[in-house]
């Protein structure tokens, strides 16, 4: 497959889309050791709201990467675990994590340099290029 055909292949775009969502990879990684209940996932991950976790779990289940197991206990209990397909993403997630560990400081330095070179914005917040994330004049 040529490079152009690879980029145009909707399966490749699907894979990039799955990995580009921050929470997808984080939740998959948190499930690598076995089934977890939502409360256990929130404790393990940190910084994720119940709403965002629920949306992420539904998205991963829709894509066949995790299974949802409802237990008929009282009160009801739900656990999630990786499917065999979901397990196949652990190696690429690990590789991206290793790259981030090795090069993350360089990326952050480049971002700081780019922000320092920008002329001041006319309002107090602007979107960081390539992220879609707004930041204030203070850099947060």
**Mean pLDDT of the region 24-36:** 97
With H, G, I as helix, E, B as strand and everything else as coil, classify residue 99: helix
Cα gap 63→99, rounded to integer Å: 25
The pLDDT of 89-112, averaged and rounded, is 95
Quote the CA–CA distance of 62 and 83 in Å, as a whole number: 12
The sign one gets for the Cα dihedral 29, 30, 35, 39 is negative
Q: Which two tokens stand for residue 20?
A: 């580009």
**Residue-level pLDDT at 140:** 46
The pLDDT assigned to 45 comes to 96
Please, what is the Cα angle at 95 between 64 and 17, to 5 degrees? 45
**Which overall architecture, per CATH, does domain 1-83 show?**
Orthogonal Bundle (1.10)
Helix 10-20 and helix 90-117, axial crossing angle in degrees, nearest 10: 70
With 60 as the cut, is the pLDDT of residue 51 above it?
A: yes
Number of neighbouring beta carbons within 10 Å of residue 111: 16
**pTM of the predicted structure, to 2 decimals:** 0.74
Q: Is the pLDDT of residue 82 over 90?
A: yes
- For residue 24, the SS3 value is helix
Q: What percent of the chain has pLDDT over 90?
A: 63
- Domain limits, CATH 1.10.10.10, in the chain: 1-83
* pLDDT value for 2: 64
Give the pLDDT score at 125: 55
Output the CA–CA distances (angstroms, integers) from residue 15 to 29, 95, 103, 104, 125, in the order listed.
16, 14, 22, 22, 32
């Amino acid at each position: 497959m040529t490079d152009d055909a690879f980029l145009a292949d909707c399966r490749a775009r699907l894979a990039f889309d799955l990995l580009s969502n921050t929470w997808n990879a984080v939740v998959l990684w948190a499930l690598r050791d076995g089934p977890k209940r939502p409360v256990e996932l929130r404790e393990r991950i940190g910084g994720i709201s119940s709403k965002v976790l629920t949306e992420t779990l539904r998205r991963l289940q829709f894509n066949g990467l995790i299974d949802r197991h409802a237990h008929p206990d009282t009160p009801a209990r739900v656990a999630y675990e990786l499917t065999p397909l979901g397990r196949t993403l652990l190696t690429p997630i690990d590789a991206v994590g290793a790259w981030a560990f090795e090069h993350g400081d360089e990326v952050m330095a480049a971002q700081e340099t780019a922000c320092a070179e920008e002329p001041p914005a006319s309002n107090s917040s602007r979107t960081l290029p390539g992220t879609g994330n707004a930041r204030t004049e203070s850099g947060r």
